[in-house]
Amino acid sequence: MSKYTEFAQDVLAQNDTGEWTIPAGHVYPHQWLWDSAFTAIGLAVYDPHRAAQELISLKRGQWSNGMLPHMIFSPQPGRPDDSWLWRSRRVTNLAPRNVWTSGITQPPVLADAVQRVAKALEQNERKSFLEIMVPVLLDYHQWLYRERDATQCGLVTLYHPWETGLDNTPSWQFTNSYIHTPRWLRVAHKLNLHKLLDRNRPDTESSNESERASSYNSLKLVHAARSLKKHGYNWSRVAQDPHFAIQSLSFNAILIRNNQILLELCKELNAAVPPVLAQAIDRATTALEGLWSEDFGEYFHRDVTTGNLVPISTISTLIALYSGVIPEKRVAKLVSKLHDPHQFQANYIIPTVPVGSPAFDPINYWQGPVWMNTNWLIFDGLRRLGLEREALLIRDASIHLFEESGSFEYFSPLDGSGRGIQDFSWTAALYLAFIADA
For the annotated catalytic residues, the residue numbers are 167, 409
Nearest distance in Å: CB 87, ligand GLC:
20
Indicate the burial class of 216 (C-beta count within 10 angstroms; 0-12, 13-18, 19 or more). middle
Cross-strand pairs, 31: 72
423 binds ligand GLC (CB under 6 A): no
Nearest distance in Å: CB 263, ligand GLC:
26
Q: Which of residues 156-175 bind ligand GLC (CB under 6 A)?
A: 165, 167
Between residues 82 and 268, which has the closer beta carbon with respect to ligand GLC?
Answer: 82
Nearest distance in Å: CB 24, ligand GLC:
7
Between residues 380 and 409, which has the closer beta carbon with respect to ligand GLC?
Answer: 409
Nearest distance in Å: CB 202, ligand GLC:
12
- How many residues would you count in the chain? 438
- Print the binding letters for residues 124-163 with ligand GLC: x by CB under 6 A, - otherwise: ----------------------------------------
Nearest distance in Å: CB 429, ligand GLC:
12
Between residues 23 and 69, which has the closer beta carbon with respect to ligand GLC?
Answer: 23
Between residues 32 and 172, which has the closer beta carbon with respect to ligand GLC?
Answer: 32
Between residues 107 and 154, which has the closer beta carbon with respect to ligand GLC?
Answer: 107
28 binds ligand GLC (CB under 6 A): yes
Identified binder of ligand GLC from the candidate list 4, 20, 32, 408, rule CB under 6 A: 32
The footprint of ligand GLC on this chain (CB under 6 A) covers a number of residues equal to 7
Indicate the burial class of 251 (C-beta count within 10 angstroms; 0-12, 13-18, 19 or more). buried
The window from 28-36, 50-58, 85-93, 288-296 that contacts ligand GLC (CB under 6 A) reads: 28-36
The window from 31-39, 88-96, 236-244, 256-264 that contacts ligand GLC (CB under 6 A) reads: 31-39
Cross-strand pairs, 24: 28
Identified binder of ligand GLC from the candidate list 4, 34, 143, 408, rule CB under 6 A: 34
Nearest distance in Å: CB 336, ligand GLC:
27
Q: Amino acid identity of 363?
A: I
35 binds ligand GLC (CB under 6 A): yes
The window from 27-35, 44-52, 277-285, 306-314 that contacts ligand GLC (CB under 6 A) reads: 27-35
Gyration radius of the chain over CA positions: 20
Q: Which of residues 7-26 bind ligand GLC (CB under 6 A)?
A: 23
Between residues 32 and 379, which has the closer beta carbon with respect to ligand GLC?
Answer: 32
Between residues 23 and 242, which has the closer beta carbon with respect to ligand GLC?
Answer: 23
Between the two ends of the chain, the Cα-to-Cα distance in Å is: 14
69 binds ligand GLC (CB under 6 A): no
73 binds ligand GLC (CB under 6 A): no
| Alpha carbon distance 148, 164 (integer Å) | 13
Kindly report the backbone phi and psi dihedral angles of residue 183, in degrees, each rounded to the nearest multiple of 5, phi listed first: -55, -45
Give the residue nearest to ligand GLC (CB): 23
Nearest distance in Å: CB 165, ligand GLC:
4
Nearest distance in Å: CB 142, ligand GLC:
23
The closest alpha carbon to 44, from 434, 429, 371, 431, belongs to 429
Tell me which residues touch ligand GLC (CB under 6 A). Answer: 23, 28, 32, 34-35, 165, 167
